[in-house]
Structure 1
Amino acid sequence: MAAGRTGGTKHACFLSKRVMMLMVLLLVSGCRGHGFGDEDHVEVEGIGSSCMESERRALLAIKSDMYDPDNWFSSWTGKDCCGWRGVACDHTTGHVTKLDLRYPYTYDVRDISDIMETMGGSKVNPSLQELKHLKYLDLSMNNFSGAPVPTMIASLVHLEYLNLSYAMFDGLIPPQFENLSNLHYFDLHGWYGYHLHVDDLDWLSRIPSLKYLDMSKVNLSKATNWFYVINSIPALEVLRLSHADLPYVPSPLPPFNLTAIATLYLSGNSNVTSAMLRWLSNATSLEKLVLSGCWSLTIESAQVALLNLKKLDLSDNSLEGEILEILNNVSSSSSLKHLDLRWNQLSGDIPETIGDLQSLQFLYLGCNAINGQIPKTIGRLHQLQVLGMSYNNLSGQIPMTMGGLCNLINLSLSNNNIGGELSNLFDGLSTCSHRASLSSLILEGNNLSGIIPTSMGQLSQLYTVDLSSNSLVGNITEAHFSNLTNLSKFIIASNSLNVILPNDWLPPFSASIIDMSFCHLGGKFPDWIQTQQQLQILHLFGVGVSGSLPVWFSDFSKGLKYLNLSSNYLTGRLPSAPQFILDLSNNSFVGPIPLGFAEATNLSLLILSYNHINGSLSLFFCNMHLLRMLDLSNNHLIGEAPDCLNSFPTILRSLHLNSNNLHGIIPSFLKHCKQLITLDFGENKLSGKIPTWIGRNLSSLKVLSLRSNLLYGTIPVNIVSLSSLQVLDLSSNNLFGSLPSSLGNLSAMVEKQNDTWSKFRPFIYQHESILITTKGSNLNYTTILWLVTCIDLSNNHLSGEIPKELTKLLGLRFLNLSNNHLTGRIPEKMGDMKQLESLDLSVNSLTGEIPSSFSSMHFLARLNLSYNNLSGKIPTSGQLSTFDSWTYVGNKDLCGTPLPACPVYRTPPDARVKDDEQLERLLEYTSIVVGFVVGFWLFIGTLIMKQTIRFAFFRRIDKTSDWIHVQNSILQEI
């Protein structure tokens, strides 16, 4: 019995211990459920982790397949997975309910090439489906390398939040996602270069609780029912379907059902119709409507009256019409804060009613054709933070009322015709009752005059100032910068300003960009520049500084990304190269290219033209794999152009080595530079033949100049494979043979080059300069080079006829075939080349007349047909009547204005009478002869046909003969 009691007591004690442990567990569980957050965890010694072990193992498996920059997963250690970064658990059950694996660093999703180089690849581990209680899953912004969207996610039926945006998934979006019926937030935003798509959207209608849906950059072109499916989800508050290739939706449209819709993005879809916009007029809850880049909209369809609208974006739609039609329509919306009408074709004046939009904070009207003045009522928009009106035709002055816009942060009025002074604006903003907010001021490319007021120095929030390309005058002193402690971008180029700043001046700012080009800085390079340790871009183009660069500048320039000191009077040795762009052209730098340039492997543009650089051209650029442009023209370089062997700048787009003393052949490494746009070896001593790989490999070439060298051989036939070629200059060489008829297939010269949006010309042309012989002189083409079309084959030994196929180049502006051995006639259809501005066919052996079609060339400013064998009368109509005799000299059989008149063969006054007498005499003689011949043969015929007559005739002759004989005898006797 005692033993039994003892055993019972032990058993009771054991039970009581277990009960105590259970109570502790319950207490811990209760504490976790009533007071601890996601990151608060309580562990009891000997009991274990506060998360499920199976889920912890699943998380570790998921981690093993994820890219881990800078040990982002360093907190994923220990037993308590609920405390790991990006993980959260249910307070009661301990199950993992949240997994946030979003890539931890922000970046610009538009720059995919740079991102792919730095971000490692990840995979979605199958263990993800073990986290069956997940409500929140974010895999966005990772690099899943084009893998398909994981179907297993559809098994996580408790998900309420799913974000797969910008994750580099590819392929079909699984229709099994219809199982996620609890989703409130669903983001599938695709990424550039990947092709997410759906075949049908029926599955989406089975997720009725959706409030947020983003399928931008997902190809929905096969989802013909998209409009009806979306309309069947009345809970939707945010819908983003930008650039989704939405199919056309025919009318009639279904009854409006999106009663909760507040944000709608449909940008980049060409099938957004006017009927849809009228349908949206029922969306009384709509606050944000973004329809940029739809292209199918008209200004009438864009006038949707939505009284609660806060944001309206109609940019990039080519809307035509008066801007007041839209502004008057939205002026009734008292809640409108954001209006974007950029990149359209709106015209007319800005109406005074603009001042009624007093809630407006962002107003973008740039890149239109708006004219007139900025209305004074703009000063009533006291909430305005951003005002953009660049690239229009605005005139007048900046209204004084704008000086009261104390909340204005960004003001951009660049590239208009605005004049007047800046005092009203700066003086007004400097007296705001609270500190003026102006951070960015861009007034570049106008007609502003007068001085820059020193009150600018009181706008302490200024970060960007761009007053370039105006007519500002006066001095820039320390007072202009007194309180500009935040100034980072200071651009005053192309004005008549004197920058008077002492060398020991200590600026209150640390700028990243300084551009004072074409201002006056005095003779010495400014020493205060060395205080700008954050400087990335320095432009002192044409500022008049001279002498050698200061000693400190060589090390200082190594931190720059872009340095432009061109068109000054600088001497001495070249400084070290900055990281990306260096322009030291038009100076007097001497000596060879420093060896240190070979280490500047990040250089993108290197421009050293028009200096006194000498020595041989070393292999320094072979390792510059990022080099896009190299210009060493107009120097004193000697030796052969080096041929890089295994390393060369494969992305090189522009190469200028012209006007040096280089010899040898054209380096063959260039065949690997398949992005070349400009290749200029002109005015050297290169020899050999023009290599055929130019036409075979350099398909992007627009400019090919090999002028004034020692090249020989024929013009390669495959040169016409350069379909983008606009300038072909092979003049002053030793080329022979005939002109290839296939030159007429140079397709870039067939049509006129388009001048549309010339203000936004390609970046590469801003640095190009090509010497072209035209209109009787050598001209350097720079800013308009991209519009030039030219063929110059002059001063060679070419022979044969001018191929008629050449006349198909209807977009050609300059043609020079002079000083060759061309023969034959000028093609009759050459006059069809109506864009020709200069035509030189002189010093050849051309024959025949000048085609009358030349009269149709209305743009022809220079014509030279001298020293040929042309003949006939010179056509005088049209443009031909403006040329002098030098155009035609040396053609002995040409006549007419401006040469001596053609000979005229006149008939004498009595010539007609004499001609009539001669005609009568000729007719008389003719009739006698004809009568005699006819009578003779009639008589002879009669004798032959009639025997009696013949006998009588001959008897008569005999009698006559006897009579004559008798008479003759009598006479002799007498």
Structure 2
Amino acid sequence: MELLRMVGQSLLLLCLTGSLAILPAFSRDKNNTTSGSAAEQRRRCPLRCVCTSETTVDCSGVDLSTFPRNLSADTQHLALQNNRLEDIPVEYLSRLTKLRTLSLHNNRILSQGLPDKAFTSLQQLEYLYLANNKLTVTPRQLPNTLSIADFAGNHLTEIFALTFGHKPKLRSVYLHNNNLTNAGLPKTMFSGSDMVNILILSNNNLTRVPEILPSQLIQLHLQNNRISKIPKDVFSHLEHLRELYLQNNRLSNAGIHSQTFSKMKGLQYLDLSNNNLTKVPEGLPSNIVVLQLGRNRITSISRHSLNRIRNLEYLLLQHNRITAGRVHKEAFGELRKLHTLHIFNNPLGKIPAVLPRRLSSLMLLHNAILKIGADDFASAYHLTDLNLSHNRLRSARLHRLAFRKLRRLERLDLSANRLSLLPSGLPPSLLALRAQGNQISQLPTDALLHLSSLKELHLHHNLLTIGKIAPGVWRNVPNLKLLDLGHNDLSYVPPDLPESLEYIYLQNNRITTITSDSFISTPNIKVIALRSNRLTSAGVRKGSFGGLRYLQVLDLTSNPEYINVFLHSTTQGTAASNRTTGRQG
């Protein structure tokens, strides 16, 4: 989970900023002392800029169209992002010999406006941010002190050998969202820059993986290119690489050698989704924790295709062409750490045989599953989350013992199937049950038997009538907080609802009457949805909602008549909201 959290944070920064670079704080260095008086600092600070010290100048987002002239030669951190700059004069920049951070992202800088000589004298520069400009080529040579270089979101077609080469301190290079092809990347692009650990080349026009990559890479992003082939040894020296992103390319199994990934002993996250794979690639290293293979053309899982990956925890196979008959019964036999398996949007006709024993989350929605046998989940007794929605399940083909061993199951989704009854033998551990969008027409007395922990029950869009809800059925769910019975055929509010209930949804039924006893059993109710029924003023008895002191939302909209409802204020809250069609009293 820590790996997924780290990856998620990186992707979030990518989405929000167009760049993964993290700007150093523009604050005074504790070891620096200000030379001159505060008045002298203000005099030398460019108009509309903020100079917190002699070394730090912030001119970001002040609509500058020209580079500021009167900058102190002692400036170390210069922020010029979010302006309208088109060129950087050599004579102004070159005199800032102590510059460590230069932020120029989100301007309009052209390559001809960024002369190669502009950086010659900046021999202390560590952080350079030029993302989201209009550069077509990079500067030919950057200072060898550079640590972070961000050129994302430009129009780059060419990079020179000394742009990033011979930079022993270089750690992070961001080149995503450009127009780079393999012809625009020199073979010696990172010669002498062996310590680069983050390289982002996503969203370009690469047709193959760059030939010589820095040996200390930890993250390599190549997604959203046109890569169709990965040579045998291109990754062989990347023993430290943990995250490799190759999704949204044109990779087929023929384009991936059986030893392409085999020497990547540190690889933990591999994303090959949205390619043209027809089977799981061979030779995947054993330390992979997350394997993304969704949106390919995979038709089968062989006996040995995954079992080598002993540390696998997340296996994502959604949107493929996998059938249950082509999943070998021992395909998951050695995956003792696998806890999340996604095989949704495939043509599975039944549950795959012999599921991993440690599995806690199984997503099988949007398949063609017709039945569930007594032993289909027998090996998956650690399951806590099971999604079987949007299949073809019928009650007659759902074995009464199908869920008997799932004693840790907390969430079960059976929505959008063809069930006429809720399954029997559901585990007492269940917290949320979704069965909406079926053909359920009755709730017998034992329909919710032993579900004393259930907190959410979703039964909307079924065929329920009041006469088919057995008396006492709600006694089996004493901790239920949310009940959704919308879009059924109820003629009045079901009686004897559980006292624990806080949210009840009864919209789109044919309820005509609300009596003073309709909600007498639910004193803790917060939300009542009764919109789109057949209620009139005459059908809503006075005081129907009077004792509900926690009521926050009462929705009576889209009934035949406007209904005035008097709600009683209490010291603990007022039962009214902007969705209430009545008024307070």
Q: Tell whether the structures are fold-level matches, with TM greater than 0.5.
A: yes
C-alpha change, 1:205 and 1:291, in structure 2 (3 Å) is farther
Q: Which runs of 5+ in 2 are unaligned?
A: 10-23, 35-46, 120-140, 496-500, 515-526, 539-554, 563-585
Give the aligned partner of residue 448 of structure 1: 298
1-structure distance, mates of 2:73, 2:430: 57
Which of 480, 493, 500 aligns to 2:331? It is: 480
Residue by residue over 1:276-313, the C-alpha shift from the partner in whole angstroms, topping out at 9 and shown as x without a partner, is 69545432221322455xx5x22248778221244212
Query: How far did residue 685 of structure 1 move?
Result: 3.7
C-alpha change, 1:522 and 1:378, in structure 2 (3 Å) is farther
C-alpha change, 1:539 and 1:181, in structure 2 (3 Å) is same
TM-score when scaled to structure 1? Answer: 0.37
Aligned partner letter, 1:406: M
Query: How far did residue 680 of structure 1 move?
Result: 11
Give the aligned partner of residue 232 of structure 1: 74
Q: What are the residue-to-residue correspondences of 1:186-265 with 2, within 5 Å?
A: 200-206=49-55, 220-222=60-62, 232-233=74-75, 246-249=82-85, 251-253=88-90, 254-255=93-94, 257=96, 261=100
Query: How far did residue 458 of structure 1 move?
Result: 2.4
Query: How far did residue 373 of structure 1 move?
Result: 1.6
1:419 aligns with 2:271: no
Query: How far did residue 403 of structure 1 move?
Result: 4.7
Query: How far did residue 662 of structure 1 move?
Result: 3.0
1-structure distance, mates of 2:201, 2:328: 39
Kindly indicate whether the alpha-carbon contact (under 8 Å) linking 2:340 and 2:361 is maintained by their aligned counterparts in 1: yes
1-structure distance, mates of 2:385, 2:318: 15
1:284 aligns with 2:144: yes
Which of 386, 405, 428 aligns to 1:538? It is: 386
C-alpha change, 1:663 and 1:447, in structure 2 (3 Å) is farther
1:406 aligns with 2:264: yes
Q: What are the residue-to-residue correspondences of 1:657-696 with 2, within 5 Å?
A: 657-658=507-508, 660-663=509-512, 685=534
1-structure distance, mates of 2:158, 2:513: 66
SS in 2 for 1:305: helix
SS in 2 for 1:480: coil
C-alpha change, 1:403 and 1:377, in structure 2 (3 Å) is closer
Residue by residue over 1:387-438, the C-alpha shift from the partner in whole angstroms, topping out at 9 and shown as x without a partner, is 212245556745124353433322212123x03333xx23x23xxxxx6322
Give the aligned partner of residue 467 of structure 1: 317
What percent of counterpart residues are identical?
A: 17
Kindly indicate whether the alpha-carbon contact (under 8 Å) linking 1:583 and 1:608 is maintained by their aligned counterparts in 2: yes
Which of 418, 443, 456 aligns to 1:591? It is: 443
Query: How far did residue 459 of structure 1 move?
Result: 1.4
Query: How far did residue 456 of structure 1 move?
Result: 1.2
Q: What are the residue-to-residue correspondences of 1:573-584 with 2, within 5 Å?
A: 582=434
Aligned partner letter, 2:362: I
1-structure distance, mates of 2:360, 2:69: 49
C-alpha change, 1:631 and 1:299, in structure 2 (3 Å) is farther
1-structure distance, mates of 2:297, 2:372: 25
C-alpha change, 1:598 and 1:459, in structure 2 (3 Å) is closer
Kindly indicate whether the alpha-carbon contact (under 8 Å) linking 1:391 and 1:414 is maintained by their aligned counterparts in 2: yes
Give the aligned partner of residue 175 of structure 2: 314
Which of 273, 298, 313 aligns to 2:109? It is: 273
C-alpha change, 1:180 and 1:371, in structure 2 (3 Å) is closer
2-structure distance, mates of 1:656, 1:277: 69
More helix by share: 1
C-alpha change, 1:529 and 1:479, in structure 2 (3 Å) is closer
Which of 371, 396, 419 aligns to 2:226? It is: 371
2-structure distance, mates of 1:246, 1:259: 23
Query: How far did residue 466 of structure 1 move?
Result: 0.9
Structure scoring higher RCO (CA < 8 A, sep ≥ 6) equals 2
SS in 2 for 1:448: coil
1:491 aligns with 2:342: yes
2-structure distance, mates of 1:443, 1:462: 13
Aligned partner letter, 1:203: T
C-alpha change, 1:257 and 1:219, in structure 2 (3 Å) is closer
Kindly indicate whether the alpha-carbon contact (under 8 Å) linking 2:164 and 2:189 is maintained by their aligned counterparts in 1: no
C-alpha change, 1:492 and 1:648, in structure 2 (3 Å) is closer
Query: How far did residue 487 of structure 1 move?
Result: 1.2
SS in 2 for 1:514: strand
2-structure distance, mates of 1:554, 1:597: 13
2-structure distance, mates of 1:199, 1:661: 66
C-alpha change, 1:680 and 1:273, in structure 2 (3 Å) is farther
Aligned partner letter, 2:489: H
Q: What are the residue-to-residue correspondences of 1:487-566 with 2, within 5 Å?
A: 487-497=338-348, 499=351, 501=353, 507=356, 509-517=357-365, 518=367, 520=369, 522-524=372-374, 526-528=376-378, 531-532=381-382, 535-541=383-389, 542=391, 544=393, 546-548=398-400, 556-557=408-409, 560=410, 562-566=411-415
Aligned partner letter, 2:228: Q
C-alpha change, 1:290 and 1:442, in structure 2 (3 Å) is same
2-structure distance, mates of 1:265, 1:577: 57
1-structure distance, mates of 2:332, 2:320: 20
1-structure distance, mates of 2:95, 2:346: 57
1-structure distance, mates of 2:327, 2:173: 41
1-structure distance, mates of 2:254, 2:95: 47
Kindly indicate whether the alpha-carbon contact (under 8 Å) linking 1:355 and 1:380 is maintained by their aligned counterparts in 2: no
Kindly indicate whether the alpha-carbon contact (under 8 Å) linking 1:548 and 1:572 is maintained by their aligned counterparts in 2: no
Which of 324, 334, 351 aligns to 2:182? It is: 324
2-structure distance, mates of 1:648, 1:291: 53
Which of 298, 303, 314 aligns to 2:155? It is: 298
Larger gyration radius, structure 1 or structure 2 = 1
TM-score when scaled to structure 2? Answer: 0.57
1-structure distance, mates of 2:114, 2:512: 68
Which of 475, 484, 490 aligns to 1:637? It is: 490
Residue by residue over 1:646-681, the C-alpha shift from the partner in whole angstroms, topping out at 9 and shown as x without a partner, is x977xx9xx8844x333369xxxxxxxxxx9xx996
SS in 2 for 1:356: coil
C-alpha change, 1:358 and 1:548, in structure 2 (3 Å) is same
SS in 1 for 2:330: helix
C-alpha change, 1:537 and 1:551, in structure 2 (3 Å) is closer
C-alpha change, 1:233 and 1:245, in structure 2 (3 Å) is closer
Residue by residue over 1:789-841, the C-alpha shift from the partner in whole angstroms, topping out at 9 and shown as x without a partner, is xxxxxxxxxxxxxxxxxxxxxxxxxxxxxxxxxxxxxxxxxxxxxxxxxxxxx
C-alpha change, 1:441 and 1:527, in structure 2 (3 Å) is closer
Q: Which runs of 5+ in 1 are unaligned?
A: 1-106, 112-164, 167-172, 184-197, 208-214, 430-434, 666-675, 690-703, 714-974
2-structure distance, mates of 1:205, 1:437: 50
Aligned partner letter, 1:371: R
2-structure distance, mates of 1:203, 1:639: 69
